[in-house]
Chain A
Amino acid sequence: MTRVAPAPAFGFLAVMVVTAFALAIGVGSVALDPATVLRALAGSGDATARGIVQGLRLPRAVAAFATGGSLALAGAILQVLLRNPLADPYVLGVSGGAAVGALIAMLVGAAAWATPVGAFAGAVASTAIVFVLARSSGAWSPIRLLLTGVIIASGWGALVALILSLAPETQLRGMLFWLIGDLSSAPAAWTPLAILAVGIAVVLPFARDLNALARGESVAAALGVAVTRLPWLMFSLAALLTAVAVTTAGAIGFVGLIVPHGVRLLFGNDQKIALPASVLTGGALLLAADTLARTAVAPSQLPVGIVTALVGVPVFLYLLLRER
């Protein structure tokens, strides 16, 4: 039923993901030849190389892939649920809440582990606030949820500005990197990947239900979709994925908004294809962007959020123009 056959589409995406991983693990400030890298991955060979590959590059690559995949999946889910192509993972105020939580932890000079904890707590708190407020009228409405999220996010924005203006100058750079999105201090790599895997396993059985829901609530309800329960399950999942992504890498914009669009333009809007394709594309995109971010102006590193936007904007505009 799709515009493309699934097999070549996923073959193409698999090649893209493998290439992105190969680049991320093979390239860095210490030059290692492919043979050394492969030996280090296998757990043998030189101890320094092993330390670089297994201790630094691999976890960072996994964290980047999981973050990009989570943001893209959350965006794909939210755009369908809210039937709004402008929805993104941060529409529920998740990144704003996370930013306030993380910046407060930095401001009070708490230990390094407190920043991700603050971010996660802020993300969950913000989502809960938006859900409770949007639900208070009883009926479920995409517009109400969207509006509540936008308003709450502006509130967080003001708090972020307040914290930035109160913060001592020595902390501003760290805060700014966090706000743009940065993978150099990801607290964990395999946990976000595991959560992403669970997310895919939860959402895929509902792909056809989401296809129906994209056509409108009464169409979906008439076809037997559980239109009251399903959205809440999917919203909670998107919120969790976003919270984990923000905790891992800060507020990386753009991926969650643009990747689902690019996927729809290339592969069509059948969720059975579009959801997993979004995960692979988002993961590969952020992985490639992060590799570029840490090598482009080496030895210094750029926040990856800058790269995703600088590369993503022209690519997306090209896809959009091509469709006409």
Chain B
Amino acid sequence: MSALLATRGLTVSIAGIPVCRDLDLTILPGERWAILGCNGAGKTTLLHTLAGLREPVAGTIELDGRRLDARSPRDVARIRGLLPQDDSDAFGATVLETALIGRHPHLSRWQWEGDNDLRIARAALAALDIAHAESRDVRTLSGGERRRVALATLFAQEPRLFLLDEPSTHLDLAHQLALLDRLTALAGSDTGRAIVMVLHDVNLATRFCDHVLLLDKGEAIAGTATELLTAERLSRTYGVRLSKLAGPASAVFTPE
């Protein structure tokens, strides 16, 4: 199977601080990756670099078999989608209008959003359990509701590679689990899709991800969840002593 995203010798830094050096990463369809690391380790910076929003210091990124920088921005946007960390609204807009923005890369310069786009945007809102707020102004939503609208915009974009920066922040427990279940199903083995998400909660990674990218003091370590999600490894990364306990659905890490 060909890689959806592949990096060769990728070196990324922000404000002179290294994030990763010489990283070779291969993300195949059907894989679910978690990016873990301490505050300021560069998780968002790396995610934005993988999305093509930042230039790496060195190395190359291939998206679906072709150099990222050789593709047009629109072409890239039809393959990968990004959920940024913050949602800010300088102006009012309805929830439906906001979700429809996701259709942008699929429309030509002269096209207006049509019935098909409306159908896709409404389906995305329904998938995130926010369709009832379709005609509300996004500025009147709670943080969690706004987050679900942002996710619906990403779903409406219909990318194959989902890059998500803390998708579950602001969400209540029920919506957190529902969202991650949905993302897991979305990136099922025969769908051709993959997800990469920055997570803060190690236990969400254990439960929902099969691969991990660990950012640790300027180095990035990529591997399977079984290899990397160990008490010893995570204790070193986070600088806290962690124990691994058997949970009902998956293992749980807890500070000692």
Contacts and interface: CB of A to CB of B under 8 A. Distances in A.
Nearest to A209: B104
B13 interface: no
B104 A212 contact: yes
A221 B73 contact: yes
Contacts of B101: 211-212, 215, 219, 223
A50 B14 CA distance: 69
A216 B100 CA distance: 15
A226 B75 CA distance: 12
B91 A214 contact: yes
Interface string A180-217: 00000000000000000000000001101101101110
Nearest to B97: A1
A264 B84 contact: no
B125 interface: no
A264 B77 contact: no
B53 A218 contact: yes
Interface stretch (B59-67, B105-113, B182-190): B105-113
Contacts of A222: 51, 53, 77, 81-82, 84
Interface string B162-185: 000000000000000000000000
B53 A269 contact: no
A218 B110 CA distance: 23
B118 interface: yes
Given A216-B88, A218-B48, A270-B97, A208 B53 contact: no
Nearest to A214: B91
A269 B72 contact: no
A83 interface: yes
Contacts of B157: 223
A221 B53 contact: yes
Given A222-B53, A224-B74, A264 B91 contact: yes
Contacts of A79: 91
Interface in B67-117: 72-78, 81-82, 84, 86-94, 96-98, 100-102, 104-105, 107, 109-110, 112-113
Contacts of A144: none
Size class of the B contact interface (CB-based, 8 Å)? 35 or more
Given A85-B90, A224-B76, A269-B93, A215 B98 contact: yes
Contacts of B51: 222
Contacts of A264: 91-92
A32 interface: no
Given A214-B91, A216-B88, A223-B105, A1 B113 contact: yes
A225 B109 contact: no
Contacts of A83: 90-91
A84 interface: yes
Nearest to A264: B91
Contacts of B105: 223-224
A240 B100 CA distance: 32
Nearest to B71: A224
Contacts of A221: 53, 73
A83 B92 CA distance: 11
A312 interface: no
Contacts of A211: 101, 104
A79 B74 CA distance: 25
A11 B81 CA distance: 38
A85 B91 contact: yes
Contacts of B84: 216, 218-219, 222
B104 A225 contact: yes
Interface string B35-70: 000000000000010010100000000000000000
A223 B87 CA distance: 15
Nearest to B77: A224
A3 interface: yes
29 contacts: A1-B96, A1-B100, A1-B113, A2-B97, A80-B91, A83-B90, A83-B91, A85-B91, A205-B109, A208-B107, A209-B104, A211-B101, A212-B104, A215-B98, A215-B101, A216-B84, A216-B86, A216-B88, A218-B84, A219-B153, A223-B102, A223-B105, A223-B157, A224-B72, A225-B104, A264-B91, A268-B93, A269-B93, A272-B112
Given A79-B91, A224-B105, 18 more contacts: A1-B96, A1-B97, A3-B94, A205-B110, A206-B109, A208-B107, A211-B104, A212-B101, A216-B86, A216-B88, A218-B53, A219-B101, A221-B53, A223-B77, A225-B73, A264-B91, A268-B93, A269-B92
Q: Which 3 A-B pairs have the closest CB atoms?
A: A224-B77, A222-B82, A224-B74
Interface of A: 1-3, 79-80, 83-85, 205-206, 208-209, 211-212, 214-216, 218-219, 221-226, 264, 268-270, 272
